[in-house]
Amino acid sequence: MRIAFIANPEAPGGWYRGIGPMIALAERGHDITQLWQPQVGIRGELAAGHDVLHVYREHEDGVLQLARTAKQRGMTVVYDNDDDMRAVPRNNVAHRDYGGFAGDRALRQIRRLVQLSDLAIASSATIAERFREYGAPHVQVIENYVPNSALKASAPANGDRVVFGWLAGNEHHVDVERLPLREQFERLLDAYPQLVVETIGCSIGMRHERYRLTPHVDFFDLPPKLAEWDVGLAPIADIPFNHARSSIKVKEYAALGRPWLASPVGPYASLGEKQGGRLVPDDGWFEAIARLLDKPRERRKLAKHARRWGREQAIGANAGLWEEALTAAVVRSGATPRPPGRPRPVSVGRTF
């Protein structure tokens, strides 16, 4: 197939849902064109002559017009999103774009794109149901998967220290406000002198010599940074927005062979020790972390399960899901998908 796609390379989701899968499809022999370029924007004229236009998240009027043009030219249009934009909390940083009048306008644009699409791809059943409510003619769930480049990492070298880390983007301050994390983590740090707690992005609000806050890590530098941790954390509050999340965070921990602890909410509720982790109730973080500190053998056993499962969660290992979904969409639209050419390696960089 010849696939033109739109995904912002400056956003992590653009790699999980757009660039990463398209690189995997290019490696299978498909002809791929990225229509988004940093500082340039969308170059709509490149859409001509393709079988598929794949749009991740972007929904501005220019994207909608591009999708209409693609349909007029007989292309199959695919829309993809991995967040429930209708459920963004008021105190979430994204509410400025998806709350109030701006949010109403954005949701109208998303509805039009979903209704125009031949296929709407969602990362969770919750978002899939939202797409159906919006009038999508066909919906399919494909989870978020880990970029292949994230699978390489060395074991942590923390000496006598045991580092528990939480990759918490700025939107997770909602979870910090709602969950009793600070008190439990402070007790842990006082009780276990070998414990180090680190967060990336969002602060837990603690002042302790063994609590570290790293405000930002570049997307491409995340795997080696996460590999420095012994255990990954994924606490989230039981709110509608979090029920639409993907399980990508614990997949990233697992792909690096790191055991994890997560809230029994949304994408994590069906996971457990077979995937290398354990589920923790809101008031159970002290006990769950203390147990892994007291029983390093259990930590090592979970790490083995995590590595095994995490390797199965790479984009490359699941590229067939995207290939089958796009091929079926082209067939449903009445066209004949072009067979892939010779597989070609594609290097991962900041642009496709």
Residues 167, 287: one domain? yes
Parent domain of 109: 2-145+315-332
Smallest CA-to-CA distance from 10 within 66, 57, 46 is with 57
Distance CA 168, CA 249 (A): 9
- Residue 226 has a pLDDT of 94
- Residue 87 has a pLDDT of 54
Asked if the structure places residue 305 within a domain, the reply is yes
- Residue 109 has a pLDDT of 92
Asked if the structure places residue 345 within a domain, the reply is no
- Cβ contact 146:314 at 8 Å: yes
- Residue 49 has a pLDDT of 82
Residues 115, 53: one domain? yes
Residues 164, 307: one domain? yes
Residues 163, 301: one domain? yes
- Residue 275 has a pLDDT of 98
Helix (H, G, I), strand (E, B) or coil at 146: strand
In the beta sheet, which residues pair with residue 37? 41
Helix (H, G, I), strand (E, B) or coil at 127: helix
For the chain, which residues score pLDDT lower than 50?
93, 95, 99, 347-352
Asked if the structure places residue 344 within a domain, the reply is no
Residues 128, 185: one domain? no
Asked if the structure places residue 124 within a domain, the reply is yes
Strands (E), 57-124: 76-81, 119-122
Residues 163, 270: one domain? yes
Residues 36, 80: one domain? yes
Residues 87, 180: one domain? no
83 CB contacts (<8 Å, ≥6 apart)?
A: 13, 57, 94, 127, 241, 244, 245
The first and second tokens of residue 142, run together, are 């494909």
Residues 188, 101: one domain? no
- Residue 352 has a pLDDT of 43
- Residue 290 has a pLDDT of 98
Asked if the structure places residue 352 within a domain, the reply is no
Asked if the structure places residue 207 within a domain, the reply is yes
Residues 8, 95: one domain? yes
CATH classification of the domain holding 186: 3.40.50.2000
Residues 18, 36: one domain? yes
Separation of CA 129 from chain center? 18
pTM: 0.89
Asked if the structure places residue 129 within a domain, the reply is yes
Residues 201, 263: one domain? yes
- Residue 29 has a pLDDT of 94
The total of structural domains in the chain comes to: 2
Asked if the structure places residue 347 within a domain, the reply is no
